[in-house]
Structure 1
Amino acid sequence: MGGSDQYWQRHSQTVADPVVVFDDDEQVTANRQPAPAGAASNGTVVVKTHTEYSAVARNSSSDSFAVLVHLKAPGMTDAGSAGDAQPRAPLDLVTVLDVSGSMHGQKLALLKQAMRFVIDNLGPDDRLSVVSFSSGARRVTRLVRMTDAGKALAMSAVDSLKAGGGTNIAQGLRTAARVLDERRHRNAVSSVVLLSDGQDTYTTVRRWGSEAAGSNYEALVPPSFLRAGGEWSAPIHTFGFGKDHDAAAMHVIAEATGGTFSFIENEAVIQDAFAQCIGGLLSVVVQEARIAVTSVHPGVRVVSVRSGRYESRVHEDGREATVQVGELYADEERRFLLSLAVPRAAEDSDSETVLVNVVCSYRDAATGGNVSVTGEKAVVARPEDAGEAERSAEVERERVRVQAAEDIAAARAEAEQGAHEEAVKILENRERLVAQSMDGGAVNVALAAELREMLERVSSRERYEGSGRAYVLAGMSAHAQQRANSRHKAFGEAAPDEVTLSYATPAMRAMVRRSRGASVEQKLRESGDEVSQSYYGVPP
């Protein structure tokens, strides 16, 4: 047995051992420099507002005037690469991997290959801990920095994984929680990746068949991962592998912790799915972002905020509203629709009404500095006649997307009750309405295609149970979080390997391209065809 194998075997522990405390994480590097308030490492979040119409007639009022708040995070140079010269926030990553009996053979081989890619693309300031689970769970490696030595240890640990036993997702997550809760040191960014191809057979949960009585899938999630009282926790990004996983459980775990749920129907693309996720995690530029909306005009009130899974609150008097946004990857965007009550103009001399002021406050992930950005105030003109008022395409696109997301959720609820014809009708109707709003361009074209794919997958019990539930829940996750995940067949950019790239940032796309290149190189090396290797630019 080699030295690396001996090391990880000494440092791996089963969760059943009550004596072991996971406080042996490797020291983090001091690469995060203190920054004064208002400082940012690479630009600031851009905050824009768009009003539904450019003008409202002076003698008119509205109880539901739409204003779009649009955030865009600053970018990064060559974001996502392990050797960035530009400082970025280092990552603490815990991968929770299913090694139950159903993962034997090709599935486990593909998982190991994907993990090797992840390890290869982590930088020396990032730390990784590998947790595996079957009937029980064990920490295979402590949180160790991904230096050359750390990568060698992690590779050895991954190569040692063997499939066998049952599926205990809850135990795997409890072990991951201990890794993060008991660590002595902390990197700026923390996250968990969970992959499973089966259903937890060790935890009593009410599944979708008894949804009317209320499901309790959150029983699978350790309390320290559940966000409460405005506290930020490490998100769990879940990956349902193949057609036999518990998509409902994986979706709830992701939603409860602020993560995304991905459906890997085509098992061969697991590496690309992991790559997309890692590309985002290695480019976090904003943390603990919060939007504060304040009414400027004394008669303007905030009626509601449509914010998906992001916690929002409207104050009782309607004068203020907040949205808890959390982390943003480089170049990532968020859109939130406000509904405002707008009064008549008080005086004939009022040529415009200033509606609301929007401020985004957050912590710069790379420097730790606190930043506050004030967007342009949302303003509407108040002419005598607003018949020629310009309509905002930005607001309309977001309204179409939000309404589609709501109908996707409604169709899923019908399908869960066995009303597949009704589910199809909901999606068909929404597809027709989206098609009528094609002024939204490529976004609406892709949304219509997604709805068509969904209605096919909910059309019968057999199709829904086979892949429809997972596909629909993954779609709901992407729209609710406005964040890229992976699904069979793409919403947004079509990809030959069918990995979904909706909402994908440049860093995520770049990491997927790197994954595809690595896969081609590996296949060529395995073939031993020096002529082909030379043609593709791969040294023999």
Structure 2
Amino acid sequence: EFPTVPAAECSMYCMGTVKSPADRGEDVPQEQPVTIVAAIDASSSMRGDGKAGAVIEAMKAVIGILKDSDSLCIVAYACKVQVILPATYMDEVGKTQARNAIEAIQVKGMTNLAGALEECFDQLRRATDSNTITAIWLFTDGQATVGTTTTDVGLASLVRCHMENVKRQCSVMTFGFGADHSSDTLIGVATAGKGVYYNIVTNADIAECFADCLGGLFSVFAQHLCLVARVTMPGVTICDVETPYPFEIDVGQTSVTVVIPDLYAEEQRDVLVRLRLPAAEP
């Protein structure tokens, strides 16, 4: 609040704040369902150091944690990409199917990261339940060697394009194993997918990274929030918005809509709006 403003034409800033409570309240489900599309590297290099076995065991632990209302899709990829489990609810029957699918993975061939990512987004579009917190998990220990694109820029661009066209809010998490994977590639993919890159140095790190990733999903309070700010005083217009989130100012410059992708429990997001005030009439 400003007690006075200059009589001459000027600019001023206003701040809008969105804060989520620790408790969702009685009218909101305490835990929103999650949908995970996991892309597991099944190339021959995953055989070394027991990496494939460690990922399989860690995924089994994840399967055990997921609730009946959560769903899981599993994609295995090497030279070719295969959906070994379509999006399936994780009730007891679904968990059994998921464990069987994971245990049947055989490692061979090269690494088709582009194909794996494209298939993950395709499976996301096929998933029928749109009212879920959604994430793609990409696992690899190597570098892209085959596929429609193998460059850092190309893979990030591919993800960015799919993120713009997918009809639901989503994040892409990347997990790099060992010393041979390209951290630049996975950081670029995660950044384009509004997610996080995890560097897994030893197999013992897998469980901790998975727990951190799951904890983030389960603590999401809301997704795709639209914060709308309007000015009602004649002559006052919205000049700009300082925020990392997408926003759109209407033609008359009297309202702005800011889209906040994820809001976690007890988290606060601030949006700074710059206004133009006309000169006061004498």
Q: Does 1:232 align with 2:168?
A: yes
Residues 1:62 and 1:246: Cα distance change in structure 2 (over 3 Å): farther
Take 1:333 and 1:113, find their aligned partners in 2: how far apart are those partners?
36
SS at match of 1:142: strand
Tell me which residue corresponds to 2:87: 143
Q: Does 1:328 align with 2:271?
A: no
Q: CA offsets, 1:466-485, max 9 Å, x none?
A: xxxxxxxxxxxxxxxxxxxx
Question: Partner letter of residue 208 of structure 2?
Answer: D
Do the aligned partners of 2:160 and 2:192 also contact (CA within 8 Å) in 1?
no
Take 2:119 and 2:40, find their aligned partners in 1: how far apart are those partners?
11
Do the aligned partners of 1:66 and 1:339 also contact (CA within 8 Å) in 2?
yes
Do the aligned partners of 2:130 and 2:168 also contact (CA within 8 Å) in 1?
no
Tell me which residue corresponds to 1:217: 155
Give 1:162 shift: 3.8
Give 1:131 shift: 1.1
Matches within 5 A, 1:481-520: none
Give 1:55 shift: 5.1
Residues 1:336 and 1:222: Cα distance change in structure 2 (over 3 Å): closer
Q: Does 1:193 align with 2:129?
A: no
Residues 1:274 and 1:68: Cα distance change in structure 2 (over 3 Å): farther
Do the aligned partners of 1:205 and 1:219 also contact (CA within 8 Å) in 2?
no
Q: 2:72 aligns with which of 128, 147, 155?
A: 128
Question: Partner letter of residue 72 of structure 1?
Answer: K
Q: Which has the larger radius of gyration?
A: 1
Residues 1:207 and 1:192: Cα distance change in structure 2 (over 3 Å): closer
Take 2:21 and 2:233, find their aligned partners in 1: how far apart are those partners?
31
Tell me which residue corresponds to 1:491: none
Q: Which has the higher strand share?
A: 2
Q: 2:20 aligns with which of 46, 52, 73?
A: 73
SS at match of 2:223: strand
Q: Does 1:269 align with 2:213?
A: no
Question: Partner letter of residue 217 of structure 1?
Answer: L
Give 1:168 shift: 0.5
Do the aligned partners of 1:114 and 1:271 also contact (CA within 8 Å) in 2?
yes
Give 1:74 shift: 3.8
Gaps in structure 1 of 5+ consecutive residues: 1-50, 78-85, 209-214, 348-540
Residues 1:182 and 1:265: Cα distance change in structure 2 (over 3 Å): closer
Tell me which residue corresponds to 1:100: 43
Residues 1:335 and 1:145: Cα distance change in structure 2 (over 3 Å): same
Give 1:239 shift: 2.8
Q: 1:114 aligns with which of 33, 58, 75?
A: 58
Matches within 5 A, 1:412-491: none
Take 1:345 and 1:277, find their aligned partners in 2: how far apart are those partners?
53
Take 1:180 and 1:67, find their aligned partners in 2: how far apart are those partners?
38
Q: Does 1:315 align with 2:258?
A: no
Residues 1:271 and 1:61: Cα distance change in structure 2 (over 3 Å): farther
TM-score (norm 2): 0.80
Give 1:58 shift: 4.0
Q: CA offsets, 1:335-380, max 9 Å, x none?
A: 2222333456657xxxxxxxxxxxxxxxxxxxxxxxxxxxxxxxxx
Take 2:10 and 2:249, find their aligned partners in 1: how far apart are those partners?
18
Do the aligned partners of 2:190 and 2:197 also contact (CA within 8 Å) in 1?
no
Give 1:96 shift: 0.9
Give 1:95 shift: 0.7
Do the aligned partners of 2:187 and 2:196 also contact (CA within 8 Å) in 1?
yes
Q: Does 1:281 align with 2:228?
A: no
Do the aligned partners of 1:236 and 1:260 also contact (CA within 8 Å) in 2?
yes
Question: Partner letter of residue 267 of structure 2?
Answer: E
Give 1:231 shift: 4.7
Take 2:223 and 2:196, find their aligned partners in 1: how far apart are those partners?
21
